[in-house]
Amino acid sequence: MQQAIQIFFEGCKRIAEAHRQANYPRNPAPEWKLQELQKRFRIVNGSGVHCFIDKATGDVLKAESWARPAKHARGNVFDEHNGLAKMGPYGPAYLR
């Protein structure tokens, strides 16, 4: 589980950094943090929440607020894309 989360975390950083370099090359890179909470992990990009990862299932959850994820999963760290299929530079995609 820890390895899958680390792969996902590095992938999120890579996607956001590619977007920053292409569109805002003069802006400094934000600090990324992986915070372990009681039921999930929180990925923080700068001063905002990028997404959450459920500890029990590995589901990738869009942030509803600083402390709470949105209801429905946007991916899973154990799928063939390591949960990065619907990940954009600002977080998981909206449900369509």
CA proximity to 47, closest of 28, 26, 66: 66
Q: Give the pLDDT confidence of 45-77 residue by residue, as tens digits.
A: 999 999 999 999 999 999 999 999 999 999 999
- The 10 Å CB-count burial string (b at 16+, else e) for 3-38 is ebbeebbebbbebbeeebeeeeeeeeebebebeeee
User: What is the pLDDT averaged over residues 24-52?
Assistant: 96
Domain ranges of the chain: 2-90
Mean pLDDT of the chain: 95
pLDDT at 55: 96
Note the pLDDT tens digit of each residue in 76-90. Answer: 999 999 999 999 999
Does position 95 have pLDDT exceeding 90, yes or no?
A: no
The whole model's pTM is what? 0.92
Reference 87, options 9, 1, 3; nearest CA is: 9
